[in-house]
Structure 1
Amino acid sequence: MPPRHRLVRLLATPALAAVLLPLSIAPATAVPAAGGGSPALVTTLLPREVSAGWLARQLVDGDHFERVVAGTVRPDQDLTVDAVLAFAAAATADDAGARATAWLARPDILADYLGDGTTEAYAGPTAKLLLLAQVRGLDPTNFGGVDLVARLLSMLAPNGRFADRSQSGDRSDVASQSFALIALSRTAAGIPQSARSFLSAGQCPTGGYPAAFGPTTCAGDPDATALGIQGFNAGNGAGSSGYAMGWLVNQQRPDGGFVSPGATEPNAVTTGRASHTLFTVGSSGGYRAFKWLEPRQLRCAAAPEQRGAVPYNSTGFDQATAVRATVQATLAFSPGLKGFARLSAAGAKPESPVLSC
């Protein structure tokens, strides 16, 4: 079965000024440039730059991530897209972002992720690639030969849901609907009102969004709610996500972390996603979540190959979960980007910095 988008948990006040302070001011460090060019001189590294640099060095063959499914290694387009968005948010590792984008545009990789566009077409991947093309300043109507705008709109059902066309069933969810709204808000035509209404109708009575639409018992999910807020707010000058925001803020632990449903302790994926969204609406909860994440970033006390990573939870560094955790933490470490709807890779530095120890 081809890979599909999935919601995975393994995304000028004094407080905000503190977020922007450098992680360390180290002696000048020569960072090799991609392609063998002159090294870039780095004297100060922010947490987002350190994490983005570590992520870039984890890319397989320098341009993608992989996953293991039933003992078989497969390309992981979804995680690769997330990493490219994180590089843009960090405003660094742009060379890595460009290589990963070129890999995603390969016909075989693209078809495996999006489907063939007829019998198989997946809403979440299409929406996320549309967003990626916009963030990278590319033509979204011709990404690897695919018109991503037209493809996404072709999956809009009469009820406003962006639904998969697939022999294995429709697995579109709150995350895929949210990314569709975010990406379409950046197009000239904007968001179909039916699509925004469908997302809003999926909200639980308590204010949160469930991970999947239409559950028997509606229970808010912090990851889905964080994305739902950004989706509902995208291009929405007349509306407000305040009810969902209130629910999300109420889920924050006293230490600033966020816990996934069924878990007993906070993790970096859910906390990173929540922090990213809270920053976009100016909530102090974003800073509190940042302060939970920032001390957990591995620095000079860690092994050199781990420096810059953010472990998933208190169990410590695990390569299998650290990449996704670090992707979401990087977004949280980049509060100035104002969310996915305004994210751009323009002006990002090409190098992938290394923390000087």
Structure 2
Amino acid sequence: MTVPQTETKTRNVFRRSLGPLAIAALALTTALPAATAAPAAPASGDTASATHRPDAAAAGWLARQLVDGDHFESVFDGTAYPDQGLTVDAVLAFAAARSADQAAARATAWLARPDILSGYLGDGTTEAYAGATAKLLLAAEVRGGDPAAFGGVDLPARLRSLLTPTGRFSDRSQWGDYSNAFGQSLALLALQRTPGGAPAAAADFLAAAQCADGGFPIAFGQPACAADTDATALAAQALAATGRAAKAKAGLDWLTAHQNADGGFAAAGATASNANSTGLAASTLLTGGRFAAGLKGWGSLVKLQQGCAADPAVRGAVAYDASGFNPANAARATAQAVLGLSGQGLAGLSAQGARP
């Protein structure tokens, strides 16, 4: 049996124009001395990192971590398992940074293998997972392939088959329904690119899940509505893309109000900033026109990036938090940090024109 692979944090990458003001601000920030871009100060005469784009540097490091050059793995109890979710995150990160296109092509081909595909999406009959299907559909669209024939699977049709009468995209599985706000938001963003757009009922369902304070929860139908940074950032993008401007604005307001003093964002139930939540929140703020808050988040990510003074093997990587570089979580943190470092939005993300 295939056990559904639930992704507790889904963060992706972006590609919408920042506008002249943000571009100018980013250019000024990028031109700062290298010491601002790494935990350790550069050695004397080391000025190379001042000319490197942080998002491209992060994508370059990420590409070099791919197992066999085409995928990521996660290790549990000493056994390595294919990690399709993280591999998709990397594909989206490469597109956002407009870098590592050859690595992205290899990873996409790996994801389209029937054994890899069924292990991630389910068999499509007794097992079918909404969040995974939505995320892979978005990646297929970003890569410019035919999402209706991805590894022999019609991804848009598979995803639409998981839409319930309430407007919720739900898992079909003997293991239970693990669908959540991440998958719902990704489904809206992915299907909005297809003929006919995203179902209005699905957008209404997500909009109705908004908490009274403007944030969004990860899980639906809980007794108390507890907003989460990652869920709010992703929902704000999805609702903006589907014409729910007022709901999206309330989400942006919530993010702005919950930004830490260091410019970063914390996960639900935590107080310290982390690269994963900050990456998604910063990109959402930048694409939503909240440039001041978005640039603060961008600066927070740059401070977590390993610069030219770091060991060559880790240069470009982004540490999960201020405690320092940890190889156990660096790939996931870096993939998701590229969201904020690139300042791109999911609604228009494309790999077209990315450097090899």
Q: 1:319 to 1:238 in 2, by over 3 A?
A: closer
Corresponding position of 1:343:
349
Deviation sequence 1:99-139 (CA, Å, 0-9, x none): 00000000000000000000000001111111111100000
The answer as to 2:163 corresponding to 1:156 is: yes
Letter in 2 for 1:169: G
1:85 paired residue among 92, 104, 113: 92
Q: 1:14 to 1:233 in 2, by over 3 A?
A: closer
Corresponding position of 1:37:
none
- Equivalent runs, 1:98-117 vs 2, <5 Å: 98-117=105-124
Q: 1:273 to 1:319 in 2, by over 3 A?
A: same
Identity %: 56
Q: CA deviation at 1:239?
A: 5.3
Q: 1:98 to 1:51 in 2, by over 3 A?
A: same
Corresponding position of 1:272:
279
Look up the SS of the partner of 1:318 in the other structure: coil
Corresponding position of 1:38:
none
Corresponding position of 1:329:
337
Structure 1 segments (4+ residues) deviating >3 Å: 9-16, 20-26, 237-240
Corresponding position of 1:30:
none
Q: CA deviation at 1:287?
A: 0.7
Letter in 2 for 1:209: F
The answer as to 2:124 corresponding to 1:123 is: no
Corresponding position of 1:234:
241
1:180 paired residue among 167, 182, 187: 187
2:328 paired residue among 294, 301, 320: 320
Q: CA deviation at 1:71?
A: 3.6
Deviation sequence 1:281-302 (CA, Å, 0-9, x none): 1102111100111122101111
Q: CA deviation at 1:24?
A: 8.4
Corresponding position of 1:8:
9
Corresponding position of 1:47:
54
Q: CA deviation at 1:240?
A: 4.5
State whether residues 31 and 50 of structure 2, in contact with CA within 8 Å, keep that contact through their aligned partners in structure 1: no
The answer as to 2:285 corresponding to 1:285 is: no
- Equivalent runs, 1:122-271 vs 2, <5 Å: 122-236=129-243, 240-271=247-278
Letter in 2 for 1:300: C
State whether residues 88 and 344 of structure 1, in contact with CA within 8 Å, keep that contact through their aligned partners in structure 2: yes
Letter in 2 for 1:343: L
Q: Distance in 1 between matches of 2:23 and 2:341?
A: 11
Letter in 2 for 1:136: R
Q: Mean alpha-carbon deviation: is it higher for 234-243 or for 62-71?
A: 234-243
Q: 1:230 to 1:10 in 2, by over 3 A?
A: closer
Letter in 2 for 1:155: L
Look up the SS of the partner of 1:304 in the other structure: coil
Aligned residues: 333
Q: Distance in 2 between matches of 1:312 and 1:2?
A: 28
Q: Distance in 2 between matches of 1:14 and 1:156?
A: 40
Q: Distance in 2 between matches of 1:150 and 1:294?
A: 40
The alignment's C-alpha RMSD in Å is 2.1
Corresponding position of 2:74:
67
State whether residues 309 and 323 of structure 1, in contact with CA within 8 Å, keep that contact through their aligned partners in structure 2: yes
Q: Distance in 2 between matches of 1:348 and 1:195?
A: 32
Q: Distance in 1 between matches of 2:78 and 2:238?
A: 35
State whether residues 204 and 219 of structure 1, in contact with CA within 8 Å, keep that contact through their aligned partners in structure 2: yes
Q: 1:275 to 1:14 in 2, by over 3 A?
A: same
The answer as to 2:300 corresponding to 1:299 is: no
Q: Distance in 2 between matches of 1:158 and 1:9?
A: 25
Q: Distance in 1 between matches of 2:53 and 2:248?
A: 31
State whether residues 290 and 332 of structure 1, in contact with CA within 8 Å, keep that contact through their aligned partners in structure 2: yes
Q: CA deviation at 1:340?
A: 0.6
Letter in 2 for 1:295: K
The runs of 5 or more residues in structure 1 that have no matched partner are 27-41, 351-357
Letter in 1 for 2:215: G
Letter in 1 for 2:140: A
Q: Distance in 2 between matches of 1:279 and 1:207?
A: 18
Q: Distance in 1 between matches of 2:206 and 2:181?
A: 7
With normalisation by structure 2, the TM-score equals 0.89
Q: 1:9 to 1:115 in 2, by over 3 A?
A: closer
Q: Mean alpha-carbon deviation: is it higher for 275-284 or for 165-174?
A: 275-284
The runs of 5 or more residues in structure 2 that have no matched partner are 13-18, 35-48
Q: Distance in 2 between matches of 1:43 and 1:254?
A: 25
